[in-house]
Structure 1
Amino acid sequence: MLRKLPPAGVTRGSRLREFRTVASFMAPVWLGLLIFFGYPLVATIWFSLNKFDLFSAPRWFGLGNFAYMLQDADLHRAAANTLWLVVVLVPVKVVAALAVALLLAKLRRSASFWRTVFYLPALIPPVAATVAFVFLFNPGTGAVNTVLGWVGIEGPLWFNDPYLAKPSLVLLAVWGLGDWMIILLAAVLDVPRERYEAAELDGAGAFARLRHVTLPGIAPVLMFSALVGVIQTLQFFTQAAVAGSVASGKATVGQGRGAAFGYPDGSTTTFPMWLYEVGFGHYTLGYASALALVLFAFSLLFTVLLLRRFKSYVADGSVQ
């Protein structure tokens, strides 16, 4: 068999120099991955197989930390709350952001003003936004219940009600939809006008154009929004912790399992909150490392499932 000859002028030495050049440019990336991802991941796996309290040397525990998850009732509640947020918050926020983006895409006058208005809440720091939002929905003195009282409606307890606390967090997330809205708006405006004109000539109505023109045209961006939303919601911590603190009137971080943790009645305890409590409230860093690995595995699983689900959207640009 004839050996394939390299192109004229290409020698082993030139290939080696090219490889060294490419490797030198990629070295910072690889070093960053090894230092800030590879080493922490390996360390987390090691600590998850040990009993470790941060003060004494790790003691081998095998799969004991993972086995304890099966009987940890607080973990089960936190996982159920997080799953609820993933199933409800992400679709609601994506649909709301898409609806706002479609409305703004139709505006001809004052379009820049309204885009700024809807985007501004996304610029507010999460802690400040959550504090303000909880005060607005305060059952006794909040502006929302005050306005409802003017029209004869008795306002609910919102963040102080175990059954309404998570829906209230969804309202908070929808209020700050500006980052997703601006991405979806750019995608909607990027859909070629010729496709809409062709659909109108074929007699397609507004809903048909949305289904057969807009959604296929922005399918990759919708996939990106869903992926980012799932990953962010699986890491949902700040808003839930601050909302519980403000609604209960007590601090969550630093007090451990106080009245504010997951207030009310653990309804806002998320997986990352319980992981934090286990690691820095109980100082069981081995168990916390095992929880972190489970969270990483579920994030990866959700990502793979969503990519498989949307693969046909990106491949042929059609909504199945």
Structure 2
Amino acid sequence: MTSTAIRTGGGVADRHTATPEERERNRRRASRRNVWSAMLFLSPWIVGFLVFTAWPMIYSAYLSLTDYDVINDPNFVGLENYAQMATDPKVLLALGNTAFFTLVQVPLYVVVSLALALLLDRAGRASGFFRTVFFLPKMTPPVAVGVLFLLLFNGQNGLLNTVLGWFGIDGPAWTTDPAWVKPGLILMSLWTVGASVIILLAALRNVPNELYESAKLDGAGFWRTSFSITLPMISPALFFVIIVNTIAGLQTFDEAYTAFFGAGNTTYSNDAALFYVIYLFQQAFEFLNMGYASAMAWGLFVVIMIVTAIQLIVSRRFVYYEGDR
């Protein structure tokens, strides 16, 4: 027998006698089977994305052009909701609070995360224990963190002011003084640095030791090594942490709402803690202005897209990838 026979589902095919056209058809048929198999495995995610993400986004875009209070049918008003946003003083206040929180919190969050990651990188065998310790607060429900904020930062008998009093420092009224509400929330947000610490620690562990050995032979000190080797080599992880936390900062809601707006709370300085998503939530579920809330949601989406695009453009100059030439 001069040719090799291959047994298939439909019988026996001769590899040497098959024409190029037949081989091309068989290849296309196998490719289609692979595509359908992949789509079958992806179908749960695709259905979930279409039902729970794509459709709500499309419908909210429609609602943003309407006056809708949930009870009555939507009434088309065009761009009135967007025009109202431009003149609503509460929107401007919420945007200012959110911008301040994000601009201060993100750099501080990244610096603390990197400092803890550097310490863990030198901790040796104990690093596993401390990784768990640092990450556990990330598992704390945001509502519990909001309640904890009121207990720790209470101006009269909170733990933070008590500790400051030991050193003769008169702590501020973190929860009632508008000037200290956002700084208090920023400090409280550092409770959940654990996830970023783990990411940066993994990046530090992937820096080749040969680079540090070469730098040591050249007489480079700690700071020179940090700025010339460590930071460039972990810049992709740093960039990821900055992007993720910037988006999270612009969407701040849970802790601030629980501490200053939950359960009809009117005791504290709510305006100082009125972040954009909190005001959006109020418009949607307290005032039932679903059309206006939808317009606000799309406004936030555009802001996040612009900020992310700027960060991506800047990253081309400062982020180093090993595959780049």
Q: Same fold (TM over 0.5)?
A: yes
Structure 1 unmatched runs, 5+:
245-251
Cα distance change of structure 1 residues 205 and 7 upon mapping to structure 2, 3 Å threshold = farther
- Which amino acid in the other structure matches residue 211 of structure 1? F
Do the aligned partners of 2:233 and 2:320 also contact (CA within 8 Å) in 1? no
Q: Could you tell me which residue of structure 2 aligns to residue 275 of structure 1?
A: 280
Number of equivalences: 303
Instruction: Assess if the C-alpha contact under 8 Å between 2:143 and 2:255 holds in 1.
Output: yes
Deviation at 1:212, TM superposition (A): 1.1
Partner residue of 1:290 out of 295, 318, 322: 295
After TM superposition, give the deviation of residue 153 of structure 1 in Å.
1.9
Quote the residue 2:15 is aligned against: none
**Counterpart pick for 1:139 among 134, 138, 155:** 155
Contact 1:220-1:313 at 8 Å conserved across structures? no
1:219 aligns with 2:235: yes
Could you say what secondary structure the match of 2:272 adopts? coil
- Change over 3 Å in CA distance of 1:284–1:296 after alignment to 2: same
Question: What one-letter code is carried by the residue in structure 2 that aligns with 1:9?
Answer: R
Between structure 1 and structure 2, the one with the greater Rg is: 2
Question: Which residue of 91, 101, 122 corresponds with 2:117?
Answer: 101
8 Å contact from structure 1 (residues 216, 317) kept in 2? no
Give the aligned partner of residue 69 of structure 2. Answer: 53
Match of residue 264 from structure 1: 269
Deviates more, 1:126-135 or 1:153-162: 126-135
**Rounded Cα–Cα distance in structure 1 between residues aligned with 2:259 and 2:39:** 48
**Contact 1:100–1:181 (CA under 8 A) maintained in structure 2:** yes
In structure 1, distance between residues paired with 2:20 and 2:79: 53
Q: Which amino acid aligns with 2:149?
A: F
- Change beyond 3 A, Cα 1:115–1:51: same
Evaluate the alpha carbon distance shift between residue 154 and residue 22 of structure 1 in structure 2; reply closer, same or farther with a 3 A threshold: closer
Which residue of the partner structure matches residue 104 of structure 2? 88
CA RMSD of aligned residues (A): 2.2
State whether residues 48 and 289 of structure 1, in contact with CA within 8 Å, keep that contact through their aligned partners in structure 2. yes
Query: Retained in 2: the 8 A contact 1:219–1:317?
Result: no
Q: Distance in 2 between matches of 1:201 and 1:171?
A: 41
Displacement of 1:281 in angstroms is 1.1
3-state SS of the aligned residue for 2:172? Answer: coil
What amino acid sits opposite 2:202 in the alignment? A
Q: Decide whether the 8 Å contact of 1:85 with 1:166 is kept in 2.
A: yes
**Equivalent position of 2:209 in the other structure:** 193
Report the Cα distance in structure 2 between the residues aligned to 1:119 and 1:23, rounded to whole angstroms.
35
Counterpart pick for 2:131 among 101, 115, 127: 115
- Counterpart amino acid of 2:286? G
Relative to structure 1, is the Cα distance of residues 113 and 218 closer, same or farther in structure 2, using a 3 angstrom cutoff? Answer: same
Aligned counterpart, 1:35 = 51
Q: Answer whether contact 2:236 2:321 (CA < 8 A) is retained.
A: no
Pick the aligned partner of 2:171 from 128, 152, 155.
155
Aligned-pair distance for 1:166?
Answer: 0.5
User: In terms of mean alpha carbon deviation, does 51-60 or 145-154 score higher?
Assistant: 145-154
Q: Does 1:9 align with 2:16?
A: no
Q: Which runs of 5+ in 2 are unaligned?
A: 1-18
Q: Deviations over 1:246-291 (max 9, x none)?
A: xxxxxx2464xx625xx41501110100000011111110000000
Q: Residue in 2 aligned with 1:168?
A: 184
Q: Residue 311 of structure 2: which of 301, 306, 311 is its match?
A: 306
Q: Aligned in 2, Cα 1:31/1:109: closer, same or farther, shift over 3 Å?
A: closer
Q: Report the AA paired with residue 288 of structure 1.
A: A
Larger deviation, residues 169-178 vs 58-67:
169-178
